[in-house]
Amino acid sequence: MITRAKVQLHTLLLLIIVVHFSQPVCVDVPSETEAVLGKPMKLTCISCMKREEVSARTRVDWYYLPKQDQNIIQDPIPIFVYKDGHPEETEGPWLGRLVWNGSQDLQDVSIRIRNVTFNDSGTYECQVFRKFEFDYFTPSVTETKVIELTVKEKASEDPAALYSEIMMYVLLVFLTFWLLVEMVYCYRKISKSDEQVQDTATNYLAIPSEHKDNPAAPVTE
C-alpha cells in the first residue's frame, strides 16, 4: 500500500509539472491568398509571443492598400481595428462584412470577410502593436504582415488536396484489406485449435479403458 501510494504521488507531481510548464503552441502560418466569389474568406495574421510576453497590451490595425498610381499616391485605408479587447469596424465598403476571427490569447489576430466580392481583391496589411508590461520598463514592438488577395468566380483545383484525397482512399482500402486478412487468419487459427482439441478428445475416447490412467485408489484406514 505504501509503495502504491508513493507511485500515485509521484505521478500526480509529474502531471502538475507538465501542466504548469506546458504552453499553447503558436505556429506562424501564412494566409490563404485566393477567395471565392460570394464565400467567406479568412485573412490570417499570426503574431506569436514568447512566454514572458503574454501580459502585453495589443492593438491590431487592418488596412487595405489601394493600387498606387505614378501620379496619385493613396494612403492605406483603415478597415478594421481591435483595441482594448473590442473589435471595431470602420466606414467604407467593408462595413458590416468584417468579423473578428482572432484567438483569446491574441496570437492569432485574423479577420474574416463575409460574402466576398470582386472589389475585395487587392493588398491587405495587418499591423500588430504590442506594449509589454515588465517590472521596470514597458517596451513596445510593431509587426506588419501583408496579404495579397485574389477573388475568383470558382475555386481552382488544388493538386496537393487531390493527391491527399487519393492517398486517403488508398490507405482506407489497404486497411480494409489488411483487416479482412487478419480476420481470416484468426478464424483459421481458432478453427484449427478447435479441431486439435476435438481430435485429442476423440483419440482419448478411442483408447481402451485398461490403457487409460487409473485414478489413484482411495486411502483407507
Q: Which class for 134: exposed (0-12), middle (13-18), buried (19 or more C-beta within 10 A)? A: exposed
Mention every residue, 6+ apart, whose C-beta is less than 8 A from residue 119. 93
Q: Does residue 4 surpass a pLDDT of 50?
A: no
Average pLDDT over residues 208-216: 56
- pLDDT tens per residue, range 148-158: 999 998 877 66
Ordered DSSP codes for 12-30:
HHHHHHHHHH--------P
Task: Name the residue ranges covered by the structural domains of the chain.
Answer: 24-155, 161-203
Place of cell 475585395: 120
**Dist CA 205 CA 53 (whole Å):** 82
**Dist CA 199 CA 35 (whole Å):** 71
- pLDDT tens per residue, range 152-207: 988 776 666 666 778 888 888 888 888 888 888 888 888 777 777 676 766 666 66
Q: Which class for 109: exposed (0-12), middle (13-18), buried (19 or more C-beta within 10 A)? A: buried
Selected residue with higher pLDDT from 208 and 21 = 208
CATH number of 24-155: 2.60.40.10
CA distance between the termini of the chain: 48
Q: What is the mean pLDDT of the chain?
A: 78
- pLDDT tens per residue, range 47-81: 988 766 667 889 999 999 988 776 777 788 999 99
**Dist CA 120 CA 37 (whole Å):** 9
